[in-house]
Copies of this chain bind each other. A is one copy, B any other.
Amino acid sequence: MGKNQNIRIKDIARMAGVSVGTVDRVIHDRGNVSSESERKVKAILKKTNYSPNPIAQSLGAKKEYQISVMLPNPEQDEYWELSNKGVLQAQREWKSYNIDININNFDLERSESFSENIQKLLETKPHAVLTAPIFFDESITFFEKLDEVDIPYILVNTELNPQIKKYNPLCIIGQNHHQSGRVAAELIHISLHEPGQLAVMHIHENVENSIHLKEKEEGFRNYFAEFGNDDFEISTFSFLDEKRSFEEQIGECIAQQDLKGIFVPTSSGTYLTARALGKHHKQQTKLVGYDLLEENIHFLKAGTIDFLINQDPRHQALQGLRYLVNHLLLKIPPPTDDLLPLDIITRQNYTSFLNNHS
């Protein structure tokens, strides 16, 4: 048990017969130390199992840190509004620590907007970055540049995948999408009392996002495939931005098919589907979607939505920023990835998720 609470830099300086300045130099590899001194200091360091007092460390280093957040415009999508709430909370949380979190928003509909913003962001030379790789190709350019100038970055809403492995994010925060799809399947399976048609609805999604969505769908199908029977037949429907409103398109689809269960792998798609089910009086169709958006909660309460899987974007952002701060301020390394729990939300437990948990 390290009683090393009490060894100070001063102590090890004395033990090594040098000054605190020298000790600090070897600790931080700042050079300008004779190999002799270095050897001695390092020996004592090892022997005493010294670990610096992070509090004093960050007080002493009166440095200001800039963290840049690059996320979609919260006004375009309630999911990102929740995410933004996490950022705002982090801003408050670290206000007095000389951490400046500045927010850059890009347009969810225009990938160019993302590219434009990374230019501006990089010019400000932040000490760390939090982002979500919505537009994957553009994000890759971003990663390359960040890696190049050695700015640490953390990704939210992401899962470790082979493409990302080529780059060096400090940490990746998200959920296991495949497993998430399996949870959705399980929930439909549990609540469905008779065989029938199922559907996966892809609504309004930039193709770039499709990595997640495909994985969710795969998990969903995979779950049912394991049973090897054909009680359930699964179709996939994709609705793209057209002249006709999504609601109209979805409504038509729902009217034509006799669906027993629907899985919508996106948060905003969820309430769009619920609306359509409502309009066509098909509320009894089992519907599983994502996230505690206002309208999703409404339809959950009403019974149109049966389950929501919570991706907790607010927590993801907050957690990402905490990792970044700990990294900058206290040199505490975050995990390489953080897979959040797959919360199942129902009519009976949703309120317990609505309190602002830290």
Q: Which A residues fall within an 8 A CB radius of B?
A: 2, 4-5, 51-56, 58-59, 95-98, 175-176, 179, 182-183, 185-187, 190-191, 193, 223, 306, 338-344, 346-349, 351-353, 355, 357
Inter-chain contacts of A353 with B (CB < 8 A): 341
Inter-chain contacts of A223 with B (CB < 8 A): 348
A179 near B351 with CB under 8 A, answer yes
Closest residue on chain B to residue A345 by CB atoms: B344
The 10 closest A-B CB pairs, nearest first, are A342-B349, A344-B344, A186-B348, A183-B348, A193-B193, A342-B352, A341-B352, A182-B348, A341-B353, A190-B191
Known A182-B348, A347-B186, A353-B341: A5·B55 in contact at CB below 8 Å: no
A183 near B341 with CB under 8 A, answer no
The residue from B185, B193, B346 contacting A183, defined by CB atoms under 8 A apart: B346
A179 near B348 with CB under 8 A, answer yes
Inter-chain contacts of A344 with B (CB < 8 A): 343-344, 346, 349
B352 near A96 with CB under 8 A, answer no
Query: In the complex, A333 Cα to B346 Cα: how many Å?
Result: 32
Known A51-B96, A352-B175: A343·B346 in contact at CB below 8 Å: no
Given contacts A179-B348, A339-B352, A341-B357, 20 further A-B contacts (CB under 8 A): A4-B96, A54-B96, A55-B55, A55-B59, A176-B352, A182-B348, A186-B346, A186-B347, A187-B346, A190-B190, A193-B193, A338-B355, A340-B352, A340-B357, A341-B349, A341-B352, A341-B355, A342-B352, A343-B343, A343-B344
Chain B nearest CB, measured from A226 CB (Å): 11
A5 near B339 with CB under 8 A, answer no
Query: In the complex, A346 Cα to B346 Cα: how many Å?
Result: 13
Closest residue on chain B to residue A323 by CB atoms: B358
Inter-chain contacts of A338 with B (CB < 8 A): 355
Chain B nearest CB, measured from A297 CB (Å): 14
Contacts A/B (CB < 8 Å), 10 sampled: A51-B95, A55-B55, A55-B59, A56-B59, A179-B349, A179-B351, A186-B348, A190-B306, A339-B355, A341-B357
Query: In the complex, A223 Cα to B223 Cα: how many Å?
Result: 30
Closest residue on chain B to residue A182 by CB atoms: B348
Chain B nearest CB, measured from A324 CB (Å): 15
Chain B nearest CB, measured from A91 CB (Å): 9
